[in-house]
């Protein structure tokens, strides 16, 4: 199985690039942000819980996020592999993902990290706000909070996979196609 973690700060282009990787490699795309937003839209209990955190730019607590991710993985027993987009976002989530995938004899293949400077991220998110309808993209204070949370809680997850020899950084500046090529070239044995 090919299990890719697509990593990077808010606005780095994870969602856009996931679409390319899904098409090219026949993987199942699991975006925790998308799953939370679909729960918010459907008015589920999980959606109500997640919404308060998301609107403030904070992380949804690990316990519910990990349980949700596990149940999504188990919905796709026939998958050739997964792209994890927006997960893991904490070291505890990374440990849970490793355990979950190792138990299924399909460990993480690699972490590909899109690298984009902070000023560019802020511009991209404010531009995306015009069409995304996402309240967390429209408010500069919430954008800053998301970037701060990324730096404090999520960035350390890179070392977790670097220590396993599974980390590759990829320049996230360029055309969508150029970045897609860089990502595909960084996937091991494919």
Binding residues (CB under 6 A) for ligand ADP: these are 10-11, 14, 32-33, 36, 53-54, 57-60, 65, 86-87, 89, 93, 136, 146
Nearer to ligand ADP, 53 or 165 (CB): 53
Contact 14, 85 (CB under 8 A): yes
Nearer to ligand ADP, 58 or 164 (CB): 58
Secondary structure of the chain in HEC code, one letter for each residue: CEEEEEECCCCCCHHHHHHHHHHHHCCEEEEHHHHHHHHHHCCCHHHHHHHHHHHCCCCCCHHHHHHHHHHHHCCCCCCCEEEEECCCCCHHHHHHHHHHHHHCCCCCCEEEEEECCHHHHHHHHHHHHHHHCCHHHHCHHHHHHHHHHHHHHHCCHHHHHHCCCCEEEEECCCCHHHHHHHHHHHCCCC
Nearer to ligand ADP, 89 or 160 (CB): 89
Closest chain position to ligand ADP (CB)? 33
Q: How far is the CB of 61 from ligand ADP (least distance, A)?
A: 7
Residue 132 structure tokens: 């995304």
Contact 103, 38 (CB under 8 A): no
Q: How far is the CB of 86 from ligand ADP (least distance, A)?
A: 3
Q: How far is the CB of 189 from ligand ADP (least distance, A)?
A: 27
Q: How far is the CB of 70 from ligand ADP (least distance, A)?
A: 12
Q: How far is the CB of 15 from ligand ADP (least distance, A)?
A: 7
Nearer to ligand ADP, 70 or 190 (CB): 70
Nearer to ligand ADP, 2 or 147 (CB): 147
């Amino acid at each position: 199985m090919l299990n890719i973690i697509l990593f990077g700060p808010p606005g780095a282009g994870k969602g856009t690039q996931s679409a390319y990787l899904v098409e090219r490699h026949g993987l199942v795309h699991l975006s925790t942000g998308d799953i939370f937003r679909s729960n918010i839209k459907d008015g589920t209990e999980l959606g109500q819980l997640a919404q308060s955190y998301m609107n403030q730019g904070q992380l949804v607590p690990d316990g519910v996020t990990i349980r949700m991710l596990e149940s999504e993985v188990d919905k796709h027993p026939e998958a050739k592999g997964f792209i994890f987009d927006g997960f893991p976002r904490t070291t505890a989530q990374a440990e849970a993902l490793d355990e979950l995938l190792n138990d299924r004899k399909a460990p993480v293949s690699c972490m590909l990290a899109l690298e984009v400077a902070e000023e560019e991220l802020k511009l991209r998110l404010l531009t995306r706000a015009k069409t995304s309808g996402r309240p967390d993209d429209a408010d500069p204070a919430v954008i800053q909070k998301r970037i701060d949370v990324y730096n404090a809680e999520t960035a350390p997850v890179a070392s977790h996979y670097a220590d396993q020899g599974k980390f590759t950084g990829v320049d996230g500046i360029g055309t969508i196609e150029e970045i897609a090529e860089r990502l595909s070239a960084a996937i091991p044995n494919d």
